[in-house]
Structure 1
Amino acid sequence: MKSKKIKIMILVIFIVLLFLSIGFYIHKHHQDISTDNAIIDGKTVVLSPKVQGYIKKINVEDNQKISAGDVIMEIDTTDYQVKVDHAQAALLTAKAAISAAQNNAIKAGITAPANVEVSKKKIDAAQATWEKAYADKQRMQMLINSGACSQEQFDQAVATEGSAKATLEQMQAELDASNAAPVIIAASQDTVEQLKAEEKQAKSDLAEAENNLQNTKIIAPMDGRITKRSVEVGSYVEPGTQLCSLVGLDLWITANFKENQLEGMHPGNKVDISVDAFPNLKLTGIVDSFQAGTGSYFSLFPAENATGNFVKTVQRLPVKITFDPLSPEDALLLGPGMSVIPTVHLNKGDV
Structure 2
Amino acid sequence: MLKLFRSPSTLVTLLAGLAGVLLVLYAWRLPPFLTSVETTENAYVRGYVTTISPQVSGYIVEVPVKDYAEVKQGDVLVRIDDRSYTQKVAQARATLQAQQASLANSHQQELSAQANIHAAEAEVESAESVLNQAELTSRRVANLTDRGVASTSESEKAAAAQLQAKAGLNRAKAAVEVARQSLATIIVSRAALEANVTGAEAAVQLADIDLQNTVIVAPRDGRLGEIGARLGQYVTPGTQLLAVVPRDVWVVANFKETQLYGMQIGQPVTIVVDALNKRTIKGHIQNFSPATGSEFSVIKPDNASGNFTKIAQRVGVRISIDKDQAPIEHLGPGLSVVVSIDKSSAPQTGEDLLSLY
Class of the TM-score when normalised by the shorter of the 2 chains: 0.7 to 0.9
Contact 1:230–1:244 (CA<8 Å) still a contact in 2?
Answer: yes
The residue type equivalent to 1:101 in the other structure is: S
Deviations 1:284-313 (A, max 9, x none): 222222111111122122222235732211
- Aligned runs of 1:288-303 on 2, under 5 Å? 288-303=286-301
Contact 1:116–1:179 (CA<8 Å) still a contact in 2?
Answer: no
Equivalent residue, structure 1, for 2:6: none
The residue type equivalent to 1:195 in the other structure is: L
Q: Secondary structure at the match of 1:317?
A: strand
The residue type equivalent to 2:333 in the other structure is: P
Contact 1:49–1:238 (CA<8 Å) still a contact in 2?
Answer: yes
Matches of 2:324 and 2:179 in 1, distance apart? 81
Counterpart pick for 1:94 among 84, 92, 99: 99
Of structures 1 and 2, the larger Rg is shown by 1
TM-score (norm 1): 0.73
Equivalent residue, structure 2, for 1:78: 83
Equivalent residue, structure 2, for 1:273: 271
Equivalent residue, structure 2, for 1:106: 111
Deviations 1:102-145 (A, max 9, x none): 1220231232243243156258659989xx9xx9xxxxxxxxxx
- Structure 2, unmatched stretches of 5+, are 1-29, 142-159, 348-357
Equivalent residue, structure 2, for 1:337: 334
Contact 1:35–1:342 (CA<8 Å) still a contact in 2?
Answer: yes
Query: Once structures 1 and 2 are overlaid, which stretch shifts more, 175-184 or 52-61?
Result: 175-184
Matched, 1:346 2:338: no
Matches of 2:248 and 2:311 in 1, distance apart? 34
Matches of 1:242 and 1:197 in 2, distance apart? 38
- Aligned runs of 1:167-182 on 2, under 5 Å? 176-182=174-180
Aligned residues: 304
Contact 2:281–2:325 (CA<8 Å) still a contact in 1?
Answer: no
The residue type equivalent to 1:242 in the other structure is: Q
> CA 1:80 to 1:170, structure 2 compared with 1: closer, same or farther past 3 Å?
farther
Matched, 1:36 2:68: no
Equivalent residue, structure 2, for 1:5: none
Question: How far did residue 240 of structure 1 move?
Answer: 0.9
Q: Secondary structure at the match of 2:293?
A: coil
Counterpart pick for 2:234 among 236, 239, 258: 236
Contact 1:264–1:348 (CA<8 Å) still a contact in 2?
Answer: no
Counterpart pick for 1:188 among 163, 186, 189: 186
Question: How far did residue 269 of structure 1 move?
Answer: 2.3
The residue type equivalent to 1:179 in the other structure is: E
Deviations 1:67-109 (A, max 9, x none): 2233322222211111112222222222222222112202312
Matches of 2:282 and 2:83 in 1, distance apart? 52
Q: Secondary structure at the match of 1:94?
A: helix
Matches of 1:198 and 1:204 in 2, distance apart? 10
Matches of 2:66 and 2:345 in 1, distance apart? 49
Equivalent residue, structure 1, for 2:69: 64
User: For the aligned residues, what is the CA RMSD?
Assistant: 3.7
Deviations 1:311-345 (A, max 9, x none): 211111111112122556x3453221111111222
Matches of 1:207 and 1:224 in 2, distance apart? 30
The residue type equivalent to 1:293 in the other structure is: A
Contact 2:57–2:236 (CA<8 Å) still a contact in 1?
Answer: yes
Contact 2:251–2:318 (CA<8 Å) still a contact in 1?
Answer: yes
TM-score (norm 2): 0.72
